[in-house]
Structures are given as structure tokens and as C-alpha cells.
Amino acid sequence: MYELLALDMDGTLLNPDKQITPAVHDALATWLHNGGRLTIASGRFPASVWLHAKATEMNFPLIALNGSVIVNEGTGQLISGKPLSPKHANQLIKLIESQGAYIHLYGYNVLYVNELNSINAQWPLANVVVTTDKPLTEENYRDQIGFIQVEPVDDLREFLSVRTEPIYKATIISDDSDLLDKLMNELQTWNVFVITRTGTRRFDVNPYGVSKQSALEYLCREHQIPSVRVAAVGDYDNDIEMLKWAGLGIAMGNAEEQVKQISSIVTSSNQEDGVAQAVLKYLIRPN
């Protein structure tokens, strides 16, 4: 019945230790062996999405940076992208910096920051494919961390005025939850961005009209796959539209309550191999 399975990464494909467990890996291998198509739809960097797709032998174009870019599953190269407007990005930075929150910008596998700090210095290491036999250190994962760069540019607004590479996403981070709410509410009134909460201390900013759902819908039109033949799994706010659009929207057991409410099915948590359970029960051996 279902032809394509789209997976969020953090909190979904990955367990709390940021690993693809053997049970999840085996269930996805069975899905592929049975002729299914498999993709990732994530807010992560293209390289991180591609590396994890390689680890599970995915066979469909990949969605990264919340839908701002579509990535070739074989090469990791850009298929298409929808960047932020330089004008709007400049206005965004001005607001965020004036309020004392932290912001960084995403190019294609480059994180642009004012300066290296405790928030951003380890970003490449946080995006590798983690295995149980190797502790998460730069030495152990040197072959992967080189795919993502962190580039300090001093003044982000000045950098935007001279840069040539597109910016696809921004992330705003603060320990002040009231400030985050205030900034989200303000930015939503601008009607030029998509604003999605992606954690208790952060939210993402994408161009207007961009989402995991919009990218997935585009790919399905290109490959002539109707939405009723798509299953999607996720756990957080940036998954909601994708789960509502898919023929089968599956929320993780660890998902936010609003995600569970709009989903067709709630599976077990990412600590209990929820993706594997959903694939085996609803896609491979449906009742």
C-alpha cells in the first residue's frame, strides 16, 4: 500500500544516543528489500542527512535544512534549494542580535557564526553517524567531520553584504524561553519566514513556504507518488505538516503532544526502536 517512507532524524531515526540501532537498521533493510523507497526529511545539514542515508542505503532524494534543500542520495550534492532572501536575513540578524539572543546561519554544509564558542565549535561532530563501537570524539570521526565546516565571519550582517553562497536556514538559540517566544511571535508577523520550534532552547527560520512537507510533496510529484502512498515518521513541530500531508503520519512515542494529536498512529519511543516497530507492523506486515 505504501511506496515511500520519510523519516525525521533526531528523536525519530536516531535513538537518544544519536545512533541508528540494529533493530531500526534491520527493519529499514527489510523495507528496502521488499521494494520500498526510503528517505530522510530533517532540519540537519545536507552532509549529515547524506551520511546517515548512506549508512542505511536509502534510495530516494533526501530533504535537509527543513526542506530548504533537496540532496542527491548517492552523491550528497545539491539537487535544488530555496535560500533566504539576503534582505530578510539581514533584518532577522538585526532583530535577534538587538535582543541578545544567539543566531547562526546555514549554507550548504557550512555553518556561519560570529565567532567560535561552546554552542557551535562541536557542530560538525554532532552531525556524524555515531556507532556503538566508537566514542564520540573528533579523532574517531575525523573521516566524517570534514564534510561540515564552521566558519567564523565576525559580523554576520557585513558577511551577508558580500557573500556569494546562499543561506538556507537560520537557528536562534537562547536559555530564556520567554525571549524565544517573544522573538517567534514577532517574526511570524513579518510573513516572510517559516518559524518552527526545534527544541526547548531553539527555533529555526526558513524561507516562507518552505517545509519538510513542501519538499516531500515536490519530490513525490516528480516521482509520481501520491500522498496516500507515503508514510512519514516524526516527533517535533517541524514534522507536523509532513505528517498531516502523508497518507500515514506516524508520531514517535517521545513526540510532542501536538504531534501525536495530528498523527494517524503513535508508535513506541526512539529509545524503544519505535521506527522499527512502525515499519514492521504497519508497512511490512499491515493488519
Which pLDDT score, from 0 to 100, does residue 164 have? 83
Mark whether 73 and 15 lie in a shared domain.
yes
Dump pLDDT digits (tens) for 130-173: 999 999 999 999 999 999 999 999 999 999 999 888 999 999 99
Which pLDDT score, from 0 to 100, does residue 84 have? 97
Which pLDDT score, from 0 to 100, does residue 271 have? 98
Q: How many domains does the chain have?
A: 2
Bridge partners (DSSP) listed for residue 150: 111
Query: If you count DSSP H runs as helices and E runs as strands, how many of each does the chain have, helices first?
Result: 10, 14
Mark whether 198 and 248 lie in a shared domain.
no
Q: Which residues of 116-145 are buried (b: 16+ CB within 10 A; e: fewer)?
A: eeeebeebbbbbbbbeeeeeeeeebbeebb
Which pLDDT score, from 0 to 100, does residue 88 have? 97
Q: Which residues of the chain have pLDDT under 50?
A: none
Q: Which of 179, 207, 235 is the last residue of a domain?
A: 207
Mark whether 109 and 134 lie in a shared domain.
yes
Give the chain's mean pLDDT: 96
Q: Which of 191, 207, 223 is the last residue of a domain?
A: 207
Neighbours of 196 (CB within 10 A): 21
Bridge partners (DSSP) listed for residue 206: 194
Which pLDDT score, from 0 to 100, does residue 286 have? 63
Dump pLDDT digits (tens) for 57-90: 999 999 999 999 999 999 999 999 999 999 999 9
Mark whether 13 and 70 lie in a shared domain.
yes
Q: Which of 181, 207, 233 is the last residue of a domain?
A: 207
Which pLDDT score, from 0 to 100, does residue 197 have? 92
* Residue 218 domain boundaries: 4-81+210-284
Which pLDDT score, from 0 to 100, does residue 128 have? 97
CATH number of the domain that residue 184 is part of = 3.30.1240.10
